Structure formats: structure tokens, C-alpha cells
Structure 1
Amino acid sequence: IEITYESFNQIRNKGGSPTLKMLYNLQLNYHVPVESILFERSYQINLPLLKQHLATLHETLDQIDDTLSD
């Protein structure tokens, strides 16, 4: 997937809507965070909430593992 400089500027200046392929390409090949294009300010990760969800997921996986081991 190729994106021209003009297309990138059009998206950046809110002149058009990026497609999923364009966003994927920008993220993968050009290391441009998708949220920097989609949002006025970059999305901030809620680290405590993320840790809580990961802990819950870990507990659930442990329970599944225990059940399968029985």
C-alpha cells in the first residue's frame, strides 16, 4: 500500500477520511500513530485500568488452566 505525500497531508489537514488500509500503512510503514490522525490530541492510555484488566485476564486464564488440568 502506498500513500502519497499529498494524500497524507489531506488526511492530516482533515480534508478527507482515511481508509483502514491507509491507517494501517501509516502505522506499519511510517510509524505514524493512528490516534494522532484520528484525534485532535493523542489518546492517553489509562495505565491503572489496563493493569486491572490484565490482572483479571490473568486470573481467568489461571482458572481455565486449573479446570483443564483436573
Structure 2
Amino acid sequence: MNHAALVCRGCFGNLYAVSSDCAPAAPLPTWEVDHDHTPANCPLRPLLPLEGAAAHVHELPDAGHVLTEPA
């Protein structure tokens, strides 16, 4: 599953988000969020990629620090 456009708070660059399909044994999808093209000057580079299991991409650890608010 792909997610709608996301924007990095640090550099305002575009991020991608993909998740695995929720398998019957896994209650939540597993996400990966990162820059489309990693800028060298993004102050949040150490926090990316965001990875983990969550119902929504904004529920991942550090998502509130990295992702702009959903529209």
C-alpha cells in the first residue's frame, strides 16, 4: 500500500511511505517512510527512515517530529 504525499518538517522535501499488507497473523501493517531523494542538508536525516508497525503512518515513532500534519 502506498500513502498519500508526505512532507518532511526538516527540509520540506517529499517523503515516500510504503507499508506491507496486513497479514492475518500481523495486526498492523509495517511501514517505511523516507525521503524520495535524500537531501544532504536535511536536519532530520538521522531520524529517517521511519520504520515500524502502526495502524497509520502518523502513529510511527518520531512521526510527529518528521512529518508535517496531514491535510
Q: Report the TM-score, using the length of structure 1 for normalisation.
A: 0.19
Which structure is higher in RCO with an 8 Å CA cutoff and minimum separation 6?
Answer: 2
Instruction: Name which one, 1 or 2, has greater alpha-carbon Rg.
Output: 1
1 or 2, which has the higher helix percentage? 1
1 or 2, which has the higher strand percentage? 2
